Amino acid sequence: MDQWLKIVPDSVVNLPEGLRNLLFQLYQTFIAADRWKWFLNGLKITFAVTIGALILGVIIGLLIAIVRTAHDSRRMGKSNIILSILNAICKLYLTVIRGTPMMVQLLIMGFVIMVPKDDTARLVCGIVTLGINSGAYVAEIVRGGLMSVNPGQMEAGRSLGLNYAQTMRLIVIPQAIKNILPALGNEMITLLKDTSLVSVIALRDVTKQAQNIVSNTYQAYVPYVSLAIIYLVLVIILTKLLGIFERRLRESDRR
């Protein structure tokens, strides 16, 4: 503190003690040792985990939704033993993932199953864990989107000589995507906030970097409040972008 007071203008030295302490904490958090770069590097990891987990979650969710939708469509018809087994596995996956906290899943994946030894392995571990968790929720989003498509579309595709997989890929899924995109955007916002949990596996995301700054400066107020502001700004920006995207989707539907 004394060393800092020697390098700042007299106008800062003469400020009230509370304001002077706040400026000192801001200096310690962002300027000293270029710690603003810590936040920047942490944001890169946060974005990487968010995008990677969302992509993995969409892939898992889409596969599960297709299996469950196909199984439900055959309930009144001829049973398929393979489809029944796959549906049972999907239901078990959904029950386990949605019934356990993400923090616990990260701890199990990070310290029991994968046990990453370096930053790259920790990044993969974070993406895989959050992607698996997200997939359970994306599955219901996609399933709802598939069910929102008129059943006549499936019948029309089959009448054209397409098999079930071709009809889903060429006719049903493209229509369902438009219905589920807004919900997937909300899932991305949820994932962005959930990335704060990956710090438990020592992945240096923006939350972990804030914790590191606190450990180095012994000042918690500014680093953690700044962290909250960073997440809040990111969520507001994403929400605004999603709102613009949804309006354009509605406008395209009217044409």
The pLDDT score that the predictor gives to residue 182 is: 84
**How far is it, in rounded angstroms, from Cα 250 to Cα 255?**
9
Please write the tens of the pLDDT for every residue from 42-78.
999 999 999 999 999 999 999 999 899 888 876 655 6
The pLDDT score that the predictor gives to residue 12 is: 56
The pLDDT score that the predictor gives to residue 174 is: 82
In a domain, 55, yes or no: yes
In a domain, 189, yes or no: yes
In a domain, 210, yes or no: no
Radius of gyration of the chain (CA): 24
In a domain, 228, yes or no: no
In a domain, 87, yes or no: yes
The pLDDT score that the predictor gives to residue 248 is: 82
Is the Cβ–Cβ distance between 172 and 147 less than 8 Å?
Answer: no
Is the Cβ–Cβ distance between 25 and 219 less than 8 Å?
Answer: yes
In a domain, 143, yes or no: yes
In a domain, 227, yes or no: no
**How far is it, in rounded angstroms, from Cα 112 to Cα 102?**
15
Please give the structure tokens belonging to residue 57. Answer: 């979650």
Please give the structure tokens belonging to residue 193. Answer: 């906030």
Write the Ramachandran bin of 33: left for phi over 0, alpha for psi from -120 to 50, otherwise beta. Answer: left
The pLDDT score that the predictor gives to residue 2 is: 52
In a domain, 141, yes or no: yes
Boundaries of domain holding 67: 47-205
Please give the structure tokens belonging to residue 61. Answer: 């969710």
pLDDT < 70 regions, the chain = 1-15, 17, 74-79, 253-255
| Buried-state track 179-208, b at ≥16 Cβ within 10 A, e below 16 | bbebbbbebbbebbebbbbbbbbebbbbbb
Is the Cβ–Cβ distance between 197 and 100 less than 8 Å?
Answer: no
Is the Cβ–Cβ distance between 69 and 143 less than 8 Å?
Answer: yes
**Tally of domains in the chain:** 1
Residue-wise DSSP of 55-70: HHHHHHHHHHHHHHHH
CATH of the domain at 151: 1.10.3720.10
